[in-house]
Amino acid sequence: MRQLNSLLENIDFKLVKGNLDQSANELVFDSRKAVGDSVFFAIVGFTNNGHQYVQQAYNQGCRIFVVQEKVELPEDTTIILVPNTSEALGLMACNYYENPSKKLKLIGITGTNGKTTTTTLLFNLFMNLDYKAGLISTVVNKIGNEIIPSTHTTPNPVELNKLLDKMVNAGCEYCFMEVSSHAVHQLRIAGLVYKIAVFTNITHDHLDYHNTFAEYIRVKKAFFDGLSKDSFALTNADDKNGMVMLQNTNAKKQSFALKTPADFKGKVIENALSGLVMTINNTEVYSRLVGDFNAYNLLAVFGVASLLGIEELEVLRVISNLESVEGRFQYLRSDNGITAIVDYAHTPDALENVLKTIRGIRKGSVQIITVVGCGGDRDKTKRPKMASIAAEMSDKVILTSDNPRTENPVMILEEMEAGLDENQQLKSLTIQDRKQGIKTAISLANAGDIILIAGKGHEKYQEIMGVRHDFDDLKITNELFNQLKK
């Protein structure tokens, strides 16, 4: 329970009517939950405008409203007018939970690819170093060893601050969180105080939401523009937009790279299916992770830990023992020597990076067989590109269903097929049923061949017309491998 006037600290607002001398029990933006002494925020969203539901919230018993448009409500209400209700929600959520992000060191990771891996590796590193830490990621949220299911890459402001508050109460010193472009644009992170912000890379993705690549870059950059002079901004200097992120930021600027001069410099010496050998700031280190893309992730991890004051040799010691993150270049091998790699690669750049890594570690006449699909209700422009990359960099390709969501999977596959030229068509198959697609890939493989199953990674479901069906790429592949024994 908080006093309403205390929740409005540092917020630009106008009291339209009512009074601020009352208690607020909960912050909500769902009219069905806006009852009693809760505060209802009329959020202007991507598809809905919350101002349409103020009367419904009033009928449910709510009497406190935060709006950015004029609304007509009975006299027994308190109406607070703000320039932007999404920003106000973030700021008031911070105040409601007494600004938990100021009570620990919050590290935010943003970028198209590598967010989950980098965030999870950091969490695991600090837990291995016996620090109490929190994790907010696409795959799972954690408070120390306590697991909390994840529904979004970045939760809404109320859930986010509630989670941070629990971390503070549990004694966490650090929190490592993914920061999606949607979260930045929708101001879900408004009011949060970051100790370090990290930029991994930016490539083609989410253009269904941001419309243009320039807008996507602008939104990512807004995360860094909002940092204070007491923060660090750590960027990938090898990404052509990496240094753009540091323009206009008040934070202390740091960089990591494999190819260009940087504060945290790496070099890959050896890259095999068993792991990486690389140097980080001239010290050689072995990692169980595979590929140049993971070398970048490890550099980011090392950079963050160093900026947080952790002894560098101790960081490198623990890095060498860190396991791969679920659904990120996870591999298993059949008894007859076929290797299957399950990876979340669901953007053109991520798919290209994974296939480039596989091509770099295969030997002799080893075939690469790729099973890949594209999600429905998402950026359509990447579909032909994904198919073309898969066909260009593989010996055989099976185009299959991913999460069609509300779209017709046949139409998605046809849009992927449109990206194939005549030669690429000759080495591709289209099999809508994903399990059948994986089974076919295994039947086409010989001993030593490598199968890449891309797009879903850690996901344990396949979403079709709003219904989630159990589907786990790794589990299904393992079952199919076991059938080969019979």
- pLDDT, tens digit, 9 for 90 and up, residues 262-292: 999 999 999 988 899 999 999 999 999 999 9
pLDDT band for 103, please (50, 70, 90 cuts): very high
pLDDT band for 486, please (50, 70, 90 cuts): low
CB 173 within 8 A of CB 101: no
Token pair belonging to 332:
């298993």
Q: What is the mean pLDDT of residues 324-351?
A: 91
What residues have CB less than 8 Å from 91, skipping those under 6 apart? Answer: 10, 11, 190, 191
Q: What is the mean pLDDT of residues 90-115?
A: 96
Residue 210 pLDDT:
46
State yes or no: pLDDT of 211 exceeds 70: no
State yes or no: pLDDT of 368 exceeds 80: yes
Q: What is the mean pLDDT of residues 335-347?
A: 93
CATH topology for 2-83 is: 3.40.1390
Residue 205 pLDDT:
53
State yes or no: pLDDT of 206 exceeds 50: no
State yes or no: pLDDT of 131 exceeds 70: yes
Residue 57 pLDDT:
97
Mean model confidence pLDDT for the chain: 94
Superfamily of domain 330-483: Mur ligase, C-terminal domain (3.90.190.20)
pLDDT band for 154, please (50, 70, 90 cuts): confident
CB 400 within 8 A of CB 473: no
Residue 466 pLDDT:
85
CATH topology for 100-319 is: UDP-N-acetylmuramoyl-L-alanine:D-glutamate ligase (3.40.1190)
Residue with the two structure tokens 């907010």: 136
Burial of 320 (0-12, 13-18, 19+ CB in 10 A): middle
CB 34 within 8 A of CB 64: no
Please state the pTM of the whole predicted model: 0.86
State the Cα angle at 112 between 109 and 116, rounded to 5°: 50
Report the percent of the chain where pLDDT is more than 90.
85
Residue 108 pLDDT:
98
Residue 202 pLDDT:
86
Boundaries of every domain in the chain: 2-83, 100-319, 330-483
Residue 215 pLDDT:
83
State yes or no: pLDDT of 203 exceeds 90: no
436, containing H or E segment: helix 434-444
CB 338 within 8 A of CB 447: yes
What residues have CB less than 8 Å from 253, skipping those under 6 apart? Answer: 232, 233, 235, 246
Report the percent of the chain where pLDDT is more than 70.
97
Which residues, in sequence order, are bridge partners of residue 178?
A: 109
pLDDT band for 194, please (50, 70, 90 cuts): very high
